[in-house]
Amino acid sequence: MPPPADIVKVAIEWPGAFPKLMEIDQVSNADSTNFYITEKAQMAQQLHERIQSSSMDMKLDALKDLANSSRDITFAQEFINLDGISLLTQMVESGTDFGDLLSFTLTAFVELMDHGIVSWDTFSVAFIKKIASYVCKSSMDTAVLQRSLAILESMVLNSQDLYQKVAQEITIGQLIPHLQGTDQDIQTYTIAVINALFLKAPEEKRQEMAHILAQKQLRSIILSNVIRSNKPINDEMAHQLYVLQVLTFNLLEDRMMTKMDPQDQAQRDIIFELRRIAFDVECESNNSGSFEKRKSMYTRDYKKLGFINHVNPAVDFTQIPPGMLALDNMLYFARHHQDAYIRIVLENSSREDKHECPFGRSSIELTKMLCEILKVGELPSENCHDFHPMFFTHDRSFEEFFCICIQLLNKTWKEMRATSEDFNKVMQVVKEQITRALTIKPNSLDQFKSRLQNLSYTEILKLRQSERMNQEDFQSRPILELREKIQPEIMELIKQQRLNRLCEGTCFRKISSRRRQDKFWYCRLSPNHKVLHYGDLEESPQGEVPHDSLQDKLPVADIKAVVTGKDCPHMKEKGALKQNKELLELAFSVLYESDEYLNFIAPDKHEYCVWTDGLNALLGKEMTSEFTRSDMDTLLNMEMKLRLLDLENIQIPEVPPPIPKEPSNYDFVYDCN
């Protein structure tokens, strides 16, 4: 009797084992998802057996296959259900495998843990010690070292208990040599581990850790071997340098939020020191002159120093922020840039009252402003790469930054011919000068200083005027009516652009429990705007991914809603553990059927706006993102200017003029006759 037509026989082979013939009932397995899961379960079972083989060659092949297969979440779930993680950790703890065997074991472990299925709290001290030992060895296989650093970073970030255990096993001194090599990946992972230890350290231990980092000359090692190396800095390294920069500046938060105690003699002595350096006065003995005379003399000097409270300047430092940090900056400036300090104080004390630039008040407000610019006290953002090389060029970079900026403030005050009523205006100009100078990412503090020289008050006025002309806003009634009339046409143009971008598609990172993510998926809209095509990728693509290579589909008609931020299913469980503020700003989800959803983390704010706008347009809803508003303003202004030129009967060509040809030679001669 012939077998039923629905039964199919499939032969499965794998290295070092007998082929297996399986019968599959196509009716009972018509659901491709069930078949896929069954296939992955069998594959997991086979690999679980093969990695325990006594043959080293078979074991190595199995571990290679396991490392590749573990990227798939369905396979990972099945392998973990077989207690696969425990098997891998036992293999590591036994310490019998080295080289490629160990490398693929750790790779598989990292991939499996990356899915967030298993809690990091489950690992033994023996396993932690083993991983730490690979990092501490002077010569270790690069792949093993890289995976070990990645595991330590994840342990520290994901578990306070594991942070304690890892911190006992590894010292900063053991990590530093990995920064002195030439492998940027190893350097990146090393800084990531240092950042993780810094981030999770209890507050009282952070200053101690900063002191150790200073002793080990971490800053100068990073400057020499990373920032000033011949290799360009990739995005992941830039992110880790940014995180280190943020965590270093956050050490200032304690002083920034500490009020001065007017009764504390040690703190008041700092103010006496500022007076002494400025006016070169010896501390008067208690008997020299009457109390009233001394009080009058102090009040006069404190007025010259530019404090708001001339009688008791300590009161000026009770405002938080910047608290005691402002006083620290002033003392640093007075001691380390004494000539500049004395010049500023004496220069202003000899001006007319209304034109003097108050050093004390300026220092306090400037310190507060610099803390805002550098976001002192805020946690690092998840996807930011905004590090400044100049802050890695000096052990006291914040104080040096202040010293440059306080001299800038005094210069700008003179250029503006400011009076005390103009104080806030001067501070606004100074803030603009500093932020504009920072945008070019100066390589050194001297380069930053040079950039500020070219940003005088006159130059700032020119830049403002130029920008105002470019962003001209037409407010007359006929113009406003015309804008209103052509707005729907422009909105339709923006909508088509958004939908065209969705048709091109975007590569998204997969959501992971580790910060470092190297798994991707791609999503794009079909040309007829009816279906979303999506699927997993092994690596980030160089161009568009064709529809037919994306296995999964979601009909647009099935989409119920688009939600963002905290309303997304994948964001509801996120806490403050790993600085999820940035993730929340880039998260959106497509909800369909009763409880199904497609979760996204956009690569940047622009892609987030393109996708949320495009999906809302598909659902017939309003596009409300900031980029839509910006595009609307830009296109409207351009259209308005073109129409106004048309009214003036100025012919606008259909095509741009040709680019002039390059001259055949550059031997230009000016004829003086």
CA distance 599 to 572: 12
- HEC readout, 476-521: CHHHHHHHHHHHHHHHHHHHHHHHHHHHHCEEEECCCCCCCCCCEE
Return the pLDDT at 642. 81
Residue 527, sorted as left (phi over 0), alpha (psi -120 to 50) or beta, turns out to be alpha
* Rounded distance between C-alpha atoms, residue 640 and residue 486, angstroms: 9
* pLDDT band at 469; cut points 50, 70, 90: low
User: Above 80 in pLDDT, residue 158?
Assistant: yes
Give the mean pLDDT of 659-667: 72
Residue 542 neighbours by CB distance under 10 Å: 7
Percentage of residues in the chain with pLDDT exceeding 90?
A: 44
Specify the pLDDT at position 352: 65
Least confident residue range of 280-294, 328-342, 368-382: 280-294
Question: What number is the average pLDDT over the span 407-431?
Answer: 94
Q: Please state whether 620 falls in left (phi above 0), alpha (psi between -120 and 50) or beta.
A: left
| The pLDDT of residue 123 | 87
pLDDT at 393: 95
Residue type, 383: N
| pLDDT at position 173 | 87
Range name among 218-227, 553-562, 624-633 with the lowest pLDDT average:
624-633
Report whether pLDDT(590) > 50.
yes
CATH number, domain 486-630: 2.30.29.30
Summary mean pLDDT of the chain: 85
How large is the average pLDDT for residues 216-228?
92
pLDDT in tens, 106-130: 999 999 998 888 888 888 889 999 9
Question: Measuring CA to CA, which residue among 429, 438, 436, 434 is closest to residue 458?
Answer: 429
- Do 541 and 522 form a contact (C-beta atoms < 8 A)? yes
Of 556, 559, 544, 562, the C-alpha closest to 505 is 544
User: Is the separation of the CB atoms in 312 and 251 below 8 Å?
Assistant: no
Peptide bond preceding 442 in cis form (omega within 30 of 0): no
Asked if residue 7 lies in contact with residue 14, where contact means CB atoms within 8 angstroms, the answer is no
Q: Tell me what pLDDT residue 455 has.
A: 93
Given a contact cutoff of 8 angstroms between Cβ atoms, the answer to whether 50 and 87 are in contact is no
Distance of CA 575 to the CA centre of its chain: 18
Q: 668 versus 383: which is more confidently predicted?
A: 383
pLDDT of 306-340, one tens digit each?
998 888 899 999 999 999 999 999 999 999 999 99
* Choice between 636 and 361, residue whose per-residue pLDDT is larger: 361
Q: How far, in Å, CA of 342 to CA of 333, rounded?
A: 10
pLDDT at 475 (0 to 100):
60
| Domain regions of the chain by residue span | 265-281+289-468, 486-630
pLDDT higher than threshold 80 for residue 436: yes
- pLDDT above 70 as % of the chain: 87
Alpha-carbon span 431 to 420, nearest angstrom: 18
Q: Is the pLDDT of residue 2 over 90?
A: no
- Segment 163-168 mean pLDDT: 90
- Averaged pLDDT for residues 518-523: 83
Residue 439, pLDDT score? 93
pLDDT band of residue 9 (cuts 50, 70, 90) is low
pLDDT higher than 70, residue 73: yes
Q: How many Cβ atoms from other residues are within 10 Å of residue 595's Cβ?
A: 7
pLDDT at residue 29 in the model? 44
* Confidence label for 30 from pLDDT (cuts 50, 70 and 90): very low
Q: Examine the pLDDT at 215 and tell me if it is beyond 80.
A: yes
At 243, the pLDDT band (50, 70, 90 cuts) reads very high
Q: Which range has the top average pLDDT, 44-53, 319-328, 534-543? A: 319-328
pLDDT of res. 597: 87
